[in-house]
C-alpha cells in the first residue's frame, strides 16, 4: 500500500516527459497543480484511438462508430464509478472545470430572480468567481463572500451567518489552487442543504489527491478537469444530480443534444446528451477514463500518503531558509502545495531563476487575486507535488531557492 | 551553458539596480504597464528634441530588462525610436522574454516606448 522509493522510480518510468533536460539540467516538475504529466498508458490510449477506431459517435451504424461509442460510454461509467455517482448520465463531459461551472451558471440564469443570493468563498480560482458575477449581472442576484482567515482557511462562522432563505447556491472549491487548503465541504454541503441552497464544488485541485464520493457528499454539482489527474487537456466533467440535470436548460444547442427538430419546435435529447451538443472530445474522454484507471492502479490512498510525505519534507526543508514565508494552512489541512515567498524578493524573479535551473514552479497570483490581495502580496511562488516527484527533487528546489536568493538579494 | 545564463542573469540584476528610476510623482496607474506577473511603470518626457525615459518595476529581473531597453532608446529623437530595429533582443539572448506569459514581456514595453515616440513626434511636428 505504502509507496517506497523503488515504486516511485518504477512510476517515473511511466512518464516519458520526466526524462527531459531543461537548460542542461534534468527537469524538476513542480507545477502539478497547473497540469499533471501524462503516463505512457494514457498516451497509448490516445494513439490507439486515432490509429484504430477514430469515428464520430452515437448515430453511426458502422463498426468504428460503434467501437468509439462503446469506449466513450465506458469512460463515462469509469468516471461514474470513480466518483461514486448514482447514475452514469449524471456525468457530463465538458472541456474542463471552467466549462462545467459555466454550464451550471448558465442554467441557473433562468432559475434566479432579483434579490436571490449566491455564496462564494474568498479562496476561489477566478473560474469559480467570474461566471457567477456574470450570472448576478444577468439576474440581479447578489454575490456574498465567505472571508478567509490568516491561516488560509475559510471563516466558517462567516459562512453560517451568510446563509439565509434567499441563498440559492453556494460554490466553493474542494481544495484551493493557490494555497492547497482542503475545505470542509461535507459540512458546507449539509449546512447549505439545511437552508435549501444547492452546492457546487470545484474539484479541479482535489481530484488528483482525493477520491471524492458524490453520493456520500450528497453534493449537487462537482467539477474537475482531466489534465489535473494525468489525463489530456480539453476534457473534464460535470457531475450533477439527476434532478438538477432535468431542471437546468441545455447550455449549448446543436447536434447530439436533440431528440427531434422541426422549425417549430425542438425536443431535447435525454440525459446526458442534452448537455453534450456537437461532436464531443471522444478521444479525450476515453483517455480521461484511462488516466483514472492508471491512478487507481496506484491507489489514491497510497498517492495521498506519499504526497503528504513529500509535502512535510519540503515544508521542513524550505522553512530552514531564512525569511522564507509559506502561505496557507499547516500540512495537515492541505494537499501537496507550497505557496511561498522570500522577504524582499518578487516571486517572478525567483521563478525565473528556478526555471533556468530546470525547476518548473508557478509564480504569480494563480488566478486567485482576492487571496493575494488578502495577504497584500503581488503573488507567490507555488511548488506543487505529485506522486512521481521525489525527495531528491525537493533537495534541488531547496538548493535552487538558496542560490536564487543569493543572486537576488 | 549553466554558468552562461547565471552570468547573464547576474548582469541583468546589476542593470536593474542601475535603472534610471521614475519620479515617484509619475509612479502611478497612468504610467503602469500591467502584466500578469510583475508591474512596470514607464515615463517619457521630451528634453529639447530627445526623449528621456525613466521606469521602475517591482521585480528586479524585469527592472534589468527595462534598463536594457532604456539604454537603447533613451536620449534619442522620436523619429529614431520609431525607426529603431529591435533585432538586438534576439542577439543578446533575451528572446524568451518576448513570450506573452513573461512578466509584461518586452513586447509591451517596446510598444509603450514607441507609443510615447509617436505622441512626441506629433507634438514636435505640430
- This complex has an ipTM of 0.84
Nearest to A363 among B1, B2, B37 (CB): B37
**Whole-number percent of chain A with pLDDT over 70:** 100
Q: Which domains does chain B have, with CATH numbers?
A: 2-125 (3.90.1010.10)
Mutate to test the interface with A, among B15, B16, B35, B37 (most CBs of A within 10 A): B37
Which of A52-56, A121-125, A153-157, A257-261 shows the lowest mean pLDDT across its residues?
Answer: A257-261
Orientation of helix A282-298 relative to helix A40-48, angle to 10°? 150
Q: What b/e string do you get for A37-71 counting C-beta neighbours within 10 Å, with b at 16 or more?
A: bbbeebbebbebbeeebeeebbeeeeeebebbbeb
For residue A25, the chain B residues in CB contact (below 8 A) are 2
CB of A210 closer than 8 Å to CB of A304: yes
Task: Judge whether A346 is closer than 8 Å to chain B, CB to CB.
Answer: yes
pLDDT at A89 over 70: yes
Question: Could you report the per-residue pLDDT of A99-119, keeping only the tens digit for each?
Answer: 999 999 999 999 999 999 999
Q: What b/e string do you get for A332-341 counting C-beta neighbours within 10 Å, with b at 16 or more?
A: ebbbbbbbbb
For residue B58, the chain A residues in CB contact (below 8 A) are 346, 378
Question: Could you report the per-residue pLDDT of B67-117, keeping only the tens digit for each?
Answer: 988 999 999 999 999 998 877 777 776 666 655 555 446 778 888 899 999
> How many interface pairs between A and B have CB atoms less than 8 angstroms apart?
45
Q: What cell numbers appear for A45 in the block?
A: 490510449
Helix and strand totals (H; E) in chain B: 5, 3
Give B3→chain A minimum CA distance, Å: 10
For residue B65, the chain A residues in CB contact (below 8 A) are none
Across the interface, whether the CB atoms of A407 and B10 are under 8 A apart is answered yes
Question: Which has more confidence, A71 or B91?
Answer: A71
Task: Give the CA dihedral B32, B35, B38, B44, nearest 10 degrees.
Answer: -30
Task: Judge whether B50 is closer than 8 Å to chain A, CB to CB.
Answer: no
pLDDT of residue B103: 45
pLDDT of residue B36: 57
Task: Judge whether A126 is closer than 8 Å to chain B, CB to CB.
Answer: no
Best CA proximity match to A364, nearest among A355, A353, A377: A377
pLDDT at B32 over 50: yes
Task: Judge whether A392 is closer than 8 Å to chain B, CB to CB.
Answer: no
CB of A325 closer than 8 Å to CB of A343: yes
Question: Which has more confidence, A125 or A267?
Answer: A125
Residue A117 bridge partners (DSSP) = A142, A167
Across the interface, whether the CB atoms of A356 and B103 are under 8 A apart is answered no
User: Per the confidence metrics, is the pTM higher than 0.90?
Assistant: yes
Average model confidence (pLDDT) across chain A: 95
pLDDT of residue A118: 97
Across the interface, whether the CB atoms of B58 and A346 are under 8 A apart is answered yes
pLDDT bin (cut points 50, 70, 90) of residue A335 is very high
Cis peptide before A272 (omega within 30 of 0): yes
User: Residues A20-42: what's their mean pLDDT?
Assistant: 96
CATH topology of domain A5-30+299-408: 3.90.1150
Which of A54-58, A262-266, A398-402 shows the lowest mean pLDDT across its residues?
Answer: A262-266
Residue A398 phi, psi (nearest 5): -60, -45
pLDDT of residue B99: 56
pLDDT at A27 over 60: yes
For residue A347, the chain B residues in CB contact (below 8 A) are 37
pLDDT of residue B37: 74
For residue B9, the chain A residues in CB contact (below 8 A) are 352-353, 356, 407
pLDDT at B2 over 70: no
Residue in A with minimal Cα distance to B39: A378
Q: Where in chain A is the domain with CATH 3.40.640.10?
A: 43-296
Nearest to A364 among B1, B10, B37 (CB): B37
Task: Judge whether A190 is closer than 8 Å to chain B, CB to CB.
Answer: no
Best CA proximity match to A58, nearest among A72, A48, A46, A75: A72
* CATH 3.40.640.10 is the classification of domain A43-296: yes
Catalytic residue among B6, B36, B92, B124: B36
pLDDT of residue B60: 92
Question: Could you report the per-residue pLDDT of A182-211, keeping only the tens digit for each?
Answer: 999 999 999 999 999 999 999 999 999 999
Mutate to test the interface with B, among A346, A356, A380 (most CBs of B within 10 A): A346
For residue B60, the chain A residues in CB contact (below 8 A) are 345-346, 349, 408
pLDDT of residue B105: 67
For residue A379, the chain B residues in CB contact (below 8 A) are 37
pLDDT of residue B98: 55
pLDDT of residue A313: 98
Active site residues of A: 367
Q: Where in chain A is the domain with CATH 3.90.1150.10?
A: 5-30+299-408
Task: Judge whether A364 is closer than 8 Å to chain B, CB to CB.
Answer: yes
Mutate to test the interface with B, among A21, A349, A350, A382 (most CBs of B within 10 A): A349
Distance CA A336, CA A206 (A): 10
User: Residues B31-51: what's their mean pLDDT?
Assistant: 86
Task: Judge whether A408 is closer than 8 Å to chain B, CB to CB.
Answer: yes
pLDDT of residue B35: 62
Amino acid at each position: 500500500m505504502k509507496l517506497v522509493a523503488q515504486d516511485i522510480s518504477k512510476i517515473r518510468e511511466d512518464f516519458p516527459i520526466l526524462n527531459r533536460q531543461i537548460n542542461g539540467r534534468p527537469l524538476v516538475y513542480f507545477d502539478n497543480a497547473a497540469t499533471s504529466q501524462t503516463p505512457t498508458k494514457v498516451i497509448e490510449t490516445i494513439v490507439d484511438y486515432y490509429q484504430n477506431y477514430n469515428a464520430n459517435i452515437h448515430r453511426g451504424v458502422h463498426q468504428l462508430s460503434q467501437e468509439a461509442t462503446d469506449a466513450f460510454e465506458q469512460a463515462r461509467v469509469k468516471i461514474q464509478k470513480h466518483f461514486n455517482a448514482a447514475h452514469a448520465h449524471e456525468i457530463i463531459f465538458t472541456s474542463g472545470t471552467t466549462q462545467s461551472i459555466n454550464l451550471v451558471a448558465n442554467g441557473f440564469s433562468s432559475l434566479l430572480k432579483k434579490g436571490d443570493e449566491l455564496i462564494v468563498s474568498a479562496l476561489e480560482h477566478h473560474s469559480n468567481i467570474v461566471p457567477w458575477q456574470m450570472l448576478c449581472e444577468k439576474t440581479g442576484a447578489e454575490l456574498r463572500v465567505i472571508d478567509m482567515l490568516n491561516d488560509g482557511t475559510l471563516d466558517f462562522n462567516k459562512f453560517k451567518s451568510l446563509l439565509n432563505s434567499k441563498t440559492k447556491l453556494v460554490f466553493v472549491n474542494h481544495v484551493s489552487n493557490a494555497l492547497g487548503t482542503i475545505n470542509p465541504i461535507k459540512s458546507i454541503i449539509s449546512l447549505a442543504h439545511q437552508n435549501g441552497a444547492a452546492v457546487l464544488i470545484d474539484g479541479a485541485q482535489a481530484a488528483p489527491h482525493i477520491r471524492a464520493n458524490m453520493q456520500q457528499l450528497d453534493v449537487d454539482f462537482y467539477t474537475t478537469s482531466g489534465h489535473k489527474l494525468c489525463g489530456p487537456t480539453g476534457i473534464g466533467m460535470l457531475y450533477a444530480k439527476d434532478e438538477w440535470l432535468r431542471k437546468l436548460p441545455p447550455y449549448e444547442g446543436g447536434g447530439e443534444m436533440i431528440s427531434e427538430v422541426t422549425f417549430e419546435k425542438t425536443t431535447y435529447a435525454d440525459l446526458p446528451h442534452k448537455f453534450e451538443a456537437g461532436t464531443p472530445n471522444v478521444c479525450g474522454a476515453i483517455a480521461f477514463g484511462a488516466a483514472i484507471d492508471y491512478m487507481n492502479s496506484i491507489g489514491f490512498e497510497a498517492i495521498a500518503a506519499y504526497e503528504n510525505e513529500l509535502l512535510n519534507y519540503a515544508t521542513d526543508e524550505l522553512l530552514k531558509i531564512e525569511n522564507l514565508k509559506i502561505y496557507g494552512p499547516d500540512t495537515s489541512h492541505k494537499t501537496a502545495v507550497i505557496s511561498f515567498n522570500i522577504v524582499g524578493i518578487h516571486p517572478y524573479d525567483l521563478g525565473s531563476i528556478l526555471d533556468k535551473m530546470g525547476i518548473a514552479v508557478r509564480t504569480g497570483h494563480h488566478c486567485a487575486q482576492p487571496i493575494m490581495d488578502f495577504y497584500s502580496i503581488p503573488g507567490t511562488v507555488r511548488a506543487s507535488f505529485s506522486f512521481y516527484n521525489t525527495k531528491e527533487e525537493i533537495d534541488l528546489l531547496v538548493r535552487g531557492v538558496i542560490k536564487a536568493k543569493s543572486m537576488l538579494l | 551553458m549553466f554558468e552562461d545564463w547565471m552570468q547573464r542573469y547576474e548582469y541583468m540584476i546589476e542593470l536593474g539596480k542601475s535603472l534610471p528610476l521614475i519620479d515617484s510623482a509619475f509612479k502611478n496607474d497612468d504610467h503602469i504597464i500591467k502584466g500578469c506577473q510583475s508591474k512596470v511603470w514607464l515615463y517619457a518626457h521630451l528634453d529639447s528634441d530627445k526623449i528621456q525615459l525613466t521606469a521602475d518595476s517591482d521585480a528586479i529581473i524585469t527592472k534589468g530588462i527595462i534598463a536594457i531597453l532604456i539604454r537603447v532608446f533613451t536620449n534619442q529623437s522620436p523619429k529614431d525610436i520609431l525607426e529603431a530595429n529591435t533585432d538586438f533582443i534576439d542577439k543578446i539572448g533575451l528572446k524568451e522574454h518576448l513570450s506573452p506569459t513573461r512578466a509584461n514581456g518586452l513586447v509591451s514595453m517596446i510598444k509603450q516606448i514607441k507609443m510615447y515616440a509617436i505622441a512626441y513626434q506629433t507634438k514636435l511636428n505640430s
